[in-house]
Amino acid sequence: MADLSAVTPPGIEIRPLDTVEEVFRASAVLSEVWGGDKSGMPPNLLRALAHSGNYAVGLYAHERMVGASVAFFAAPAARSMHSHITGVLPGFRSQGLGRVLKQHQREWALARDVGNITWTFDPLVARNAHFNLRVLGTRVTEYLVNHYGPMDDGVNRGDESDRIMVSWAVAARPVPTPEDDSVVAHVEVPRDIETLRRENPADAAAWRSRVRDAVARHLASGLVIGGFDDDRGYLFIRP
């Protein structure tokens, strides 16, 4: 199983969103993470998901909520849940808190007999690809073109919402990065798409089209995404 055993930093705690006040604060935190978008996880929807037994938690640093994560159950027979949104405020990133949240989500899922957690991420965000495929060892299941349609938030505004869907078998060993001799193709991604979007939107859009077309071509030829490499990007293998 995936090694998520990093020590939780002092003062960090994860709690369920049990009250209306906590729900509104989590919604505000997620809005701030996504550049002021108030529609991403509105309080009424978050309250409904939390109250009906889905995964809805706040991440606290010394009693201040600095992150949140929300997931909901799939069809009963699937024994799966979908992690819809997870975010940490900018000043608290690069401290291992994403790993702490995923460890908590995994333990929560195992306690409820959930075998798989799915989620999507932007294929152009290299740090997320690294974390999802190399650190957690998830399995890529789909490449989704413009999955959410136009998004009017500070992170995604002006770009198309292509996403990679991954599935994390929480009780299994992580999917290893493929050995070099099994890699038959790769698709490079930009080092820092967020900065590129701000400074050169045309180049960012060109990356979107280039990656989308290359991935589609390899998938159509029967290859699958087997992993991610920080230098080469997505690694394609024969199934």
- What is the arithmetic mean of pLDDT over 214-224? 98
Q: Is the pLDDT of residue 91 over 90?
A: no
pLDDT tens track for 38-86: 777 999 999 999 999 999 999 999 999 999 999 999 998 889 999 999 9
Length of the chain in terms of residues written: 239
CB 168: neighbour CB atoms within 10 A? 24
- Largest Cα separation within the chain, whole Å, is 54
Whole-angstrom distance, CA of residue 137 vs CA of residue 4: 11
SS3 sequence of 80-145: EEEEEEEEECHHHCCCCHHHHHHHHHHHHHHHCCCCEEEEEECCCCHHHHHHHHHHCCCEEEEEEC
216 touches 224 (CB < 8 A): no
- What is the arithmetic mean of pLDDT over 188-208? 93
Residue 105 main-chain phi, psi, to 5 deg: -60, -40
Q: What Cα–Cα distance (Å) separates residue 232 from each residue in 17, 130, 192?
A: 40, 12, 14
Helix H or strand E segment including 32:
helix 20-33
What is the average pLDDT score of the chain?
91
Q: Could you tell me how far CA 164 lies from the centroid of its own chain? A: 9
What is the pLDDT confidence band of residue 15, given thresholds at 50, 70 and 90?
very high
- What is the arithmetic mean of pLDDT over 154-162? 67
Going through the chain in order, the beta strands assigned E by DSSP cover 12-16, 55-61, 64-73, 80-88, 116-121, 139-144, 163-169, 185-187, 224-229, 233-237
Whole-angstrom distance, CA of residue 239 vs CA of residue 31: 39
Picking from 92, 130, 68, 102, the residue whose alpha carbon sits closest to that of residue 9 is: 92
Q: Could you tell me how far CA 225 lies from the centroid of its own chain? A: 17
Q: What is the pTM of this model?
A: 0.90
